């Protein structure tokens, strides 16, 4: 869950190669605002980037991260799902990892587990995803045990 901050630099590099000039500049401006904690202003730039290049995953990914930081997990999930539909490679892996974190915060263990598994399918060496998957599996098991005790 600690990787949200470190991913901004990766997204900047990806956006420079994947975006048109205007979309890239909006996305990069949004990333600068994100790094400064200006999440609402960053979201405005990510929206502008999406309007310029609707098929790019990075503005959705970055928007999801901004909503996550603001504590709006439902909107974070929506944005990250849009990124997942468009992304490949590292962006896809990071999107699924962050979806896992979003579901984890919502205590939606089954969805968190699936998102972490998908991140690991893309990058089996992601130790953070492995660790978070283990945590989500434990939480799901505890939840099931509590339900069984209440029913029994």
Structure tokens given for 25: 């500049």
From first to last of its 152 residues, what are the pLDDT tens digits of the chain?
545 544 544 444 444 444 456 999 999 999 999 999 999 999 999 999 999 999 999 999 999 999 999 999 999 999 999 999 999 999 999 999 999 999 999 999 999 999 999 999 999 999 999 999 999 999 999 999 999 888 87
- State the virtual CA torsion across 94, 103, 84, 116 in degrees, nearest 10: 50
- SS3 state of residue 2: coil
Burial of 92 (0-12, 13-18, 19+ CB in 10 A): buried
């Amino acid at each position: 869950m600690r990787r949200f901050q470190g991913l901004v630099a990766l997204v900047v590099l990806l956006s420079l190669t994947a975006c048109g000039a205007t979309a890239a500049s909006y996305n990069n401006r949004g990333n600068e605002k994100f790094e400064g904690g200006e999440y609402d202003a960053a979201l405005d730039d990510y929206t502008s980037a999406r309007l310029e290049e609707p098929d790019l995953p990075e503005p959705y990914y970055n928007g999801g991260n901004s909503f996550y930081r603001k504590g709006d997990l439902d909107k974070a999930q929506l944005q990250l799902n849009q990124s997942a539909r468009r992304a490949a490679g590292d962006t896809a892996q990071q999107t699924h990892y962050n979806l896992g974190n979003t579901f984890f915060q919502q205590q939606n263990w089954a969805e968190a587990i699936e998102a972490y598994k998908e991140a690991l399918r893309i990058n089996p060496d992601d130790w953070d995803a492995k660790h978070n998957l283990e945590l989500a599996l434990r939480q799901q098991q505890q939840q099931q045990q509590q339900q069984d005790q209440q029913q029994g």
